[in-house]
């Protein structure tokens, strides 16, 4: 079973272990009968530590990413917390991207800096800047590729080399690409984090996250921390993520094709000052993305609207087919204004985003109808 599409359907499925059920059932149980009053050596014990529904999803996630193991957690932020708790410490240092999801910024800046884990924000597309940001105390280099919401592309293999030469680990947030388009472990990442709320779940009906480890040792440590922290995914959520994954290849193929068309349309629109989409040849990371991502450039397109932040806000509010809502990676198309919504806490910081920027997550609707909706929304001012 080697192809991605086949793994997406079958990896981690064990009907014989579940009374022949073709899909892993939802084990809605907090605790499991133990045979002896002894520490656990095998079998199931307590769902905070491990649960059969979650375990089958974790096996699937590891198989999709080419990792040694995976932990499914309650949200993308739970994935980030689990990694930072397991591998950060006071006196240490982490390099983060100068364009990073607002929640990850909050965590590093508001929580971990207070506990003594220093950080430096660097342009991950500039290898000299990354090298200059790494210190002797650097424990982790954190990358996000493509980044949220500017779609910057990081050369994961080159940054992995820089991190490893300094004795640090490389973490890649692969949420925007999903494992269908990009598999960072093969490029040298030690850990891959995902918000499975997005493409892996795919239907805007759960929050979830994942941490995939390149080695069994690292994976065991991440699993131990997830158990201690209680960040693990609940059985029902784990089941919905596993179901979403079955259609991931088909969904990604369609959203990549539609996003490419939306990006090309926006690039020629007089109300648009700039388009950020790695599938456009003018994007500075286009060639790197073509090499590093397979089968497309993702379903998120960001556009800078002429007329400033208020004009951009009006475009969101005029959209009809695009739903004005945060999040991305679902079957329905969404539009939002990062500087006022997902990234509002980054204003005036090294990771701030332009006020006139809109982030579009392309769903499975008809591409012509999406373009017509964007056209009418842009034409209003």
Nearer to ligand PLP, 51 or 196 (CB): 196
Q: Which long-range contacts (CB under 8 A, 24 or more apart) does 13-20 make?
A: 13/56, 13/60, 14/56, 17/52, 18/52
Q: CB of residue 43 vs ligand PLP: minimum separation in angstroms?
A: 31
Q: CB of residue 104 vs ligand PLP: minimum separation in angstroms?
A: 6
198 is catalytic: yes
Write down the catalytic residue from 48, 135, 261, 274. Answer: 48
190 is catalytic: no
DSSP at 350: T
Q: Is the peptide bond before 149 cis (omega within 30 degrees of 0)?
A: yes
Q: What φ, ψ does residue 303 adopt, rounded to 5°?
A: -130, 145
Nearer to ligand PLP, 76 or 219 (CB): 76
Do 69 and 62 form a contact (C-beta atoms < 8 A)? Answer: yes
Written as six digits, the tokens of 58 are: 């974790």
C-alpha triplet 146, 248, 231: angle, nearest 5°: 70
Nearer to ligand PLP, 141 or 378 (CB): 141
Write down the catalytic residue from 7, 152, 198, 251. Answer: 198
Query: Can you give the C-alpha Rg of the chain in angstroms?
Result: 21
101 is catalytic: yes
152 is catalytic: no
Do 35 and 43 form a contact (C-beta atoms < 8 A)? Answer: yes
Q: CB of residue 381 vs ligand PLP: minimum separation in angstroms?
A: 28
Nearer to ligand PLP, 150 or 213 (CB): 150
> CA 24, CA 62: separation in Å to the nearest integer?
17
Nearer to ligand PLP, 69 or 75 (CB): 75
Task: Please report the DSSP string for 117-176 in residue order.
Answer: -EEEEE-TT-HHHHHHH--TTEEEEEEESS-TTT-----HHHHHHHHHHTTPEEEEE-TT
Written as six digits, the tokens of 20 are: 């022949």
List residues binding ligand PLP (CB under 6 A).
Answer: 75-77, 101, 103-104, 144, 148, 173, 175, 195, 197, 207, 209
> CA 156, CA 377: separation in Å to the nearest integer?
36
Q: CB of residue 74 vs ligand PLP: minimum separation in angstroms?
A: 8
Write down the catalytic residue from 7, 27, 54, 101. Answer: 101
Nearer to ligand PLP, 27 or 199 (CB): 199
Q: CB of residue 201 vs ligand PLP: minimum separation in angstroms?
A: 9
> CA 183, CA 66: separation in Å to the nearest integer?
7
Q: CB of residue 366 vs ligand PLP: minimum separation in angstroms?
A: 25
Write down the catalytic residue from 173, 199, 318, 359. Answer: 173
Q: CB of residue 148 vs ligand PLP: minimum separation in angstroms?
A: 4
> CA 223, CA 147: separation in Å to the nearest integer?
26
Find the residue with minimal CB distance to ligand PLP.
Answer: 76
Nearer to ligand PLP, 62 or 206 (CB): 206
- Which parts of the chain fold into alpha helices (H)? 4-10, 52-65, 76-87, 102-106, 127-133, 156-165, 178-181, 184-187, 216-229, 235-245, 248-267, 286-292, 308-318, 367-379
Catalytic residues: 48, 101, 173, 198
């Amino acid at each position: 079973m080697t192809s991605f599409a086949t793994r997406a359907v079958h990896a981690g499925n064990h009907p014989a272990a579940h009374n022949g059920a073709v899909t892993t059932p939802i084990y809605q149980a907090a605790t499991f009968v133990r045979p002896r009053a002894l520490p656990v050596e095998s079998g199931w014990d307590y769902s905070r530590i491990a649960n059969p529904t979650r375990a089958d999803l974790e096996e699937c996630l590891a198989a999709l990413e080419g990792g040694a193991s995976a932990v499914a957690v309650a949200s993308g932020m739970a994935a980030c917390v689990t990694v930072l708790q397991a591998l950060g410490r006071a006196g240490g240092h982490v390099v983060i991207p100068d364009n990073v999801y607002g929640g990850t910024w909050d965590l590093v800046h508001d929580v971990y800096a207070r506990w003594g884990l220093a950080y430096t924000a660097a342009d991950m597309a500039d290898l000299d800047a990354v090298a200059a940001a790494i210190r002797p105390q650097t424990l982790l280099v954190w990358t996000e590729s493509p980044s949220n919401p500017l779609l910057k592309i990081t050369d994961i293999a080159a940054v992995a080399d820089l991190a490893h030469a300094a004795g640090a680990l490389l973490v890649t947030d692969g949420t925007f690409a999903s494992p269908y388009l990009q598999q960072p472990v093969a490029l040298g990442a030690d850990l891959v984090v995902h918000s499975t709320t997005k493409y892996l779940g795919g239907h805007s009906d759960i929050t979830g996250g994942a941490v995939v480890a390149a080695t069994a040792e690292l994976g065991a440590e991440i699993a131990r921390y997830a158990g201690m922290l209680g960040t693990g995914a609940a059985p029902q959520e784990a089941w919905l993520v596993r179901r979403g994954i079955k259609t991931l290849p088909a969904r990604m193929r369609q959203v990549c094709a539609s996003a490419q068309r939306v990006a090309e349309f926006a690039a020629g629109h007089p109300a648009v000052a700039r388009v950020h989409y790695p599938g456009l040849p003018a994007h500075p990371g286009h060639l790197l993305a073509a090499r590093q991502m397979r089968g497309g450039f993702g379903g998120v397109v960001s556009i800078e609207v002429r007329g400033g932040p208020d004009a951009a806000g009006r475009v969101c509010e005029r959209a009809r087919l695009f739903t004005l809502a945060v999040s991305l990676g679902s079957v329905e198309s969404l539009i939002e204004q990062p500087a006022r919504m997902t990234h509002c806490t980054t204003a005036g910081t090294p990771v701030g985003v332009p006020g006139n920027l809109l982030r579009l997550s392309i769903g499975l609707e008809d591409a012509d109808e999406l373009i017509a909706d964007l056209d009418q929304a842009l034409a209003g001012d």
